Structure 1
Amino acid sequence: MQVPNIPVSVTSQPPVKPVAKPSGHNPPPLANIPLGMAGQAAKAHPVAVKPAHIANIPTGMAGGQLPNIPIGMAGQPPIRMKGTIIGALAASADDGYDGIGICGWLLTAVSWGLVMVTLPFSLCVCFKVVQEYERAVIFRLGRLLSGGSKGPGIFFVLPCIETYQKVDLRTITLDVPPQEVLTRDSVTVSVDAVVYYRVSNATISVANVENAHHSTRLLAQTTLRNILGTKNLHEILSDRESISGNMQIVLDEATEPWGIKVERVEIKDARLPEQLQRAMAAEAEASREARAKVIAADGEMRASKALREASMIIEQSPAALQLRYLQTLNSISSEKNSTIVFPVPIDMISLLKKSE
């Protein structure tokens, strides 16, 4: 809500009397007064206010019109408003806090002077080198320098006021330790994985997170437990590629504000408890024995059918039985053993059957 522009008669107001300035004491400029201290400064140092010398008064206010100031802002800090005293004070205060300040400029000048005085020995301290796979993030008086990270190659560092931190951009292999996970079908399984990631933005990885590598390690462990907790045991054992892909997507989205790029995730091994391994082995063994019995029974059935057909053929031709008898003797004699065979003619067996 804003106060409308209501014309006010200037002649009806009493004239403003200038306040005498104390001798030997100069009030501080308004631009150097921190936010919220304008009232205290005004009480300590009264200043003569003249309507003709108020800064940044928009054209058209000479007739006594009030500026558009929201109601209820008397106790609030000054707000940047174009064309008002409040905006001028806020702009001056913000500009003072955004830069390095007078002390910063003095320290910078002293540092440059120290470099010039100690030439050429100071060049050994000021010039630094980073490798092709590294970047240097430079801080001057605790602030990031504009332009982002430096490198590869040579860069310049001012002594005493600038510090730098090297960041490796190569792919890092993170071995996730085994995680004890309770699956959706209430089975305890220990799963470990490996994560391949790299630093995509050196400045963000230094400024946005305390330790990007340690944070990525902890996040990978938590993500592995969360994803495996929603899967059944057979899905973990048979569908590892899908689990790895989902884990990579989740990690990549979470580590993007840290300047980390997750390239690949692989599930290494899934270890089951010993009791569960024995139970699964017994189940698999019983299943294999059952299949073996079914296969043996099927083979016996087929063999019996083949023997019945062979007996019918031999019954129709008696000479076939003699040939089969001779073939059996040949197979026995071909082996090197001490078996003694006494062949008995088939005719004698038939005669014995007829006598009975």
Structure 2
Amino acid sequence: MTNTPQSKIDLTEYHKQTLIEKIFKVFAILLILLFPIAILFCFKVVKQYKRAVVLRFGRVRSDSPAGPGIIWLVPCTDSVEFIDLRTQSFNLPPQEILTKDSVTVTVDAVVYFHVTNPLKSLLNVQSHKRATELLSVAILRNYLGQYTLAELLSSRVAISDNVKLMIDKGTIEWGVQVQRVEIKNVLLPFELQKAMAAEAEGTRIAKAKIIEAEGEIKTAENLKEASQVIMENPKAMLLRYLQTLNSIASQQTTSILFPFPMDLPSSH
């Protein structure tokens, strides 16, 4: 009787396959349970005043900047950065500036700007707001030093417009456009304020004396013309005399004594 070889089953191999199947089953169950939750993280809502720059494996995705509305993200591969397009502002700290005529003044200003290119503002500079602020301070200090104190006080609007154009040239590479630059205040040293006040007071006093002297000159000329008229017509002196008495009596209640009869001018 021939003995047929019986196949032997490797129990160890069978046991390993069972563990792998169990592991895959657990992963499948977790995937089914977590899929509805994970799908929620694949969507992002971009607001109307923002734009989204999506990076996939560190590179800019072709549809960036995206928005507004709902955008699709792949978990673990995509990252998103939101860029605000609204107008932003910042106050420049007070700057001590030496003017062209060697006067030290303190100037503070405010800058308004907004992002026009979200890609440049994210890729070309680390912080576009901080960079714009530092550039504005440097340009303001360098530019205002070219003006005298009188020009700085009288031409603030024109100076602000020129500073805006200069800042805008530097921020265009960062996707930032400067809208307005306003010089809020120019503070003078206290000693200089006293000197300017004394100078202005002296100028006003000098102008007042000149006006008073011109008035006396005109008065003397008018009196000269009046005397000539009275000399040509003596009756005018009597009328002037009576007019003076009437003016004195109308001001207050007084008793006026004057000689009577008066010497009336003759008709010839």
Q: Comparing 234-243 with 250-259, which one deviates more in the overlay?
A: 234-243
- Give the alignment partner of residue 327 of structure 1, picking from 243, 246, 253: 243
Equivalent-residue separation in structure 1 for 2:116 and 2:31 (angstroms): 34
- Give the alignment partner of residue 340 of structure 1, picking from 232, 235, 255: 255
Cα 1:309/1:134, change in 2 over 3 Å:
same
Equivalent-residue separation in structure 2 for 1:257 and 1:164 (angstroms): 22
Q: How does 1:142-157 map to 2 (within 5 A)?
A: 142-157=58-73
Equivalent-residue separation in structure 1 for 2:220 and 2:43 (angstroms): 94
- Give the alignment partner of residue 167 of structure 1, picking from 68, 83, 93: 83
Residue 230 (str. 1) matches residue 146 (str. 2):
yes
Q: CA deviation at 1:236?
A: 0.8
Residues 322 and 346, structure 1, Cα contact 8 Å, conserved in 2: no
Match of 1:316 in 2: 232
Q: TM-score w.r.t. structure 1 length?
A: 0.62
Match of 1:129 in 2: 45
Match of 1:296 in 2: 212
Equivalent-residue separation in structure 2 for 1:115 and 1:265 (angstroms): 56
Q: How does 1:246-265 map to 2 (within 5 A)?
A: 246-265=162-181
Q: Deviations over 1:237-290 (max 9, x none)?
A: 122233222211211111111110112222222111111111111111111111
The AA in structure 2 aligned to 1:138 is V
SS of the residue 2:75 aligns to: coil
- What residue ranges of structure 1 are gaps of 5+ in the alignment? 1-113, 351-356
- Give the alignment partner of residue 188 of structure 2, picking from 257, 272, 277: 272
Match of 1:219 in 2: 135
Q: CA deviation at 1:345?
A: 4.2
Cα 1:252/1:296, change in 2 over 3 Å:
same
Cα RMSD after superposing both structures: 2.2
The AA in structure 2 aligned to 1:344 is P
Equivalent-residue separation in structure 2 for 1:344 and 1:223 (angstroms): 85
Match of 2:3 in 1: none
The AA in structure 2 aligned to 1:279 is A
Cα 1:116/1:200, change in 2 over 3 Å:
farther
Q: CA deviation at 1:117?
A: 6.4
Q: CA deviation at 1:147?
A: 2.8
Match of 1:181 in 2: 97
Match of 1:138 in 2: 54
Equivalent-residue separation in structure 2 for 1:294 and 1:195 (angstroms): 46
Cα 1:115/1:248, change in 2 over 3 Å:
farther
Q: Deviations over 1:45-82 (max 9, x none)?
A: xxxxxxxxxxxxxxxxxxxxxxxxxxxxxxxxxxxxxx
The AA in structure 1 aligned to 2:257 is F
Q: TM-score w.r.t. structure 2 length?
A: 0.81
Residues 115 and 122, structure 1, Cα contact 8 Å, conserved in 2: no
Cα 1:269/1:151, change in 2 over 3 Å:
same
Equivalent-residue separation in structure 1 for 2:131 and 2:205 (angstroms): 51
Aligned residues: 236
Cα 1:313/1:155, change in 2 over 3 Å:
same
Q: CA deviation at 1:164?
A: 1.3
The AA in structure 1 aligned to 2:188 is L
Equivalent-residue separation in structure 1 for 2:56 and 2:259 (angstroms): 113
Residues 191 and 270, structure 1, Cα contact 8 Å, conserved in 2: yes
Equivalent-residue separation in structure 2 for 1:295 and 1:312 (angstroms): 26
SS of the residue 1:230 aligns to: coil
* Bigger relative contact order (CA 8 A; separation at least 6): 2
Equivalent-residue separation in structure 1 for 2:82 and 2:218 (angstroms): 77
- What residue ranges of structure 2 are gaps of 5+ in the alignment? 1-29
Equivalent-residue separation in structure 2 for 1:346 and 1:189 (angstroms): 77
Q: CA deviation at 1:315?
A: 2.2
Q: CA deviation at 1:217?
A: 1.0
The AA in structure 1 aligned to 2:152 is I
Residues 172 and 196, structure 1, Cα contact 8 Å, conserved in 2: yes
Question: Which structure dedicates a bigger proportion of its chain to strand?
Answer: 2
Residue 158 (str. 1) matches residue 74 (str. 2):
yes
Cα 1:346/1:213, change in 2 over 3 Å:
farther
